[in-house]
Amino acid sequence: MALVIAVQAGAAEQWVVYEGAEGARKGKHIVLMAGDEEYRSEEGLPMLGKILSQRHGFKCTVLFSQDADGTINPNNQTNVPGMHLVGSADLVICQFRFRELPDADMKHLVDYLQAGKPIIAIRTSTHAFDYRRNKSSPYAKFGHNSSDWPGGFGQQVLGDTWVSHHGGHAKESARGLVDGTQEKHPVLRSVRDVWGRSDVYGIVRLKPADVVLLHGLVLTGMKPDDPPNYNKSIMPLVWVREYKWETGNTTKALTSTIGAAVDLQSEDLRRLFVNACYWLTGLEVPAKAAVDYVGEFKPTFFGFGTFRKGVKVSDHKL
């Protein structure tokens, strides 16, 4: 019995659960998956999970790329414990980049999607997977440069894979422009002022049926009041699309190429993601969703190798 308790206690430290406060959202489970080397999803997604749980009543489970001892390591592309918990999710929020999970773990996510359940995909999730180690995996086609399933998960399910930095990376920030034909969309409720330090991505493969909610305007600098770069076109920044699987089920996906941890200092961007959680789980979106931080949030600027070293999963417990 002592051994069982010890094992369970150790496993619990591999992910973080934020129990939802009482309310209409009680019982809705959101799994947030942090795993990218550059944009500090390991900081931004726990912050978002705290808001969703404590301000809105969702149960939130945050998974992390990590080493065997529970130390968060965004550079570890093959170890995201807790993927089996996706099976109980009503919504998944994914911020992966070039992950290659063991087949048994990847199966949980694929089963979830093929059941027709919804997903929010942030920033590098357009190129969430990269199969270089196990090219014979049944999930190798999910890789961002797949030829069997062109563009892999990003292009097929979300609408596009990795294309380019359309804005100057770490030199030109992004302003979100509401699409006038979609200004009444529930996800955009009380969302108008969206700005982030990460640049606009190139997006070129969306289909006519895909619905763009925000367009990305490239600014000439890294301040919110910098003028636009008129030499660069606007690009889709946040959009919604549906993908029908061979199972006959359809996944509804909201994709946002803005979403570095520092971008989430934008109140209206946080609100957009909270709104999307309501909308994708079939709940009425609030008139103005509360998005104040729960505790302190001082995100690290994006970059390779800039993540905070030595942080344990357990450090993110509420």
Q: What is the pLDDT of residues 198-255, one digit of tens each?
A: 999 999 999 999 999 999 999 999 999 999 999 999 999 999 999 999 999 999 999 9
- Residues 6-14: what's their mean pLDDT? 54
Q: What is the pLDDT of residue 24?
A: 54
The answer to whether residues 190 and 271 touch, using CB atoms and an 8 Å cutoff, is yes
pLDDT confidence bin for 27, thresholds 50/70/90: confident
**Residue 135, pLDDT score:** 92
Q: What is the pTM of this model?
A: 0.95
What pLDDT does residue 10 have?
Answer: 44
The tens digit of pLDDT for each residue in 109-127 reads 999 999 999 999 999 999 9
The pLDDT of residue 251: 98
User: Is residue 51 over pLDDT 50?
Assistant: yes
User: What does the alpha-carbon distance between residue 151 and residue 141 come to, in Å, rounded to a whole number?
Assistant: 9
Residue 288 DSSP SS3: coil
Cα separation values, 183 from 121, 144, 161, 281, Å: 21, 32, 26, 20
Q: Which of 127, 156, 179, 143 is nearest to 241 (CA)?
A: 156
Q: For residue 30, is pLDDT > 60?
A: yes
Going edge to edge, which strands form the sheet with 211-218?
Answer: 15-18, 59-64, 29-35, 91-96, 119-122, 250-256, 235-244, 211-218, 174-178, 194-196
8 Å CB contact between 192 and 268: yes
pLDDT-based confidence at 4, cuts 50/70/90? very low
d(CA 54, CA 48): 10
Mean pLDDT of the chain: 94
**Is a pLDDT exceeding 90 seen at residue 3?**
no
Nearest-5° Cα angle at 95, 74 to 231 = 105
Amino acid identity, position 52 = L
Rounded CA separation 275/288 (Å) = 9
Query: What pLDDT was estimated at residue 180?
Result: 97
**Residue 12: what pLDDT?**
45
pLDDT at 79 over 80: yes
The pLDDT tens digits of the residues spanning 119-175 come to 999 999 999 999 999 999 999 999 999 989 999 999 999 999 999 999 999 999 999
Torsion of CA 300, 302, 303, 305, to 10 degrees: 30
Which pLDDT score, from 0 to 100, does residue 23 have? Answer: 60
Cβ pair 30, 276 in contact under 8 A: no
How far apart are alpha carbons 182 and 159 in whole angstroms? 18
User: In the predicted model, what is the mean pLDDT of residues 261-276?
Assistant: 98
Q: How far is CA 240 from the centre of its chain?
A: 14
- Is the CB of residue 53 less than 8 Å from the CB of residue 8? no
Q: Which pLDDT band, with edges at 50, 70 and 90, does 21 fall under?
A: confident
Residues 56 and 289 sit within 8 Å (Cβ to Cβ):
yes
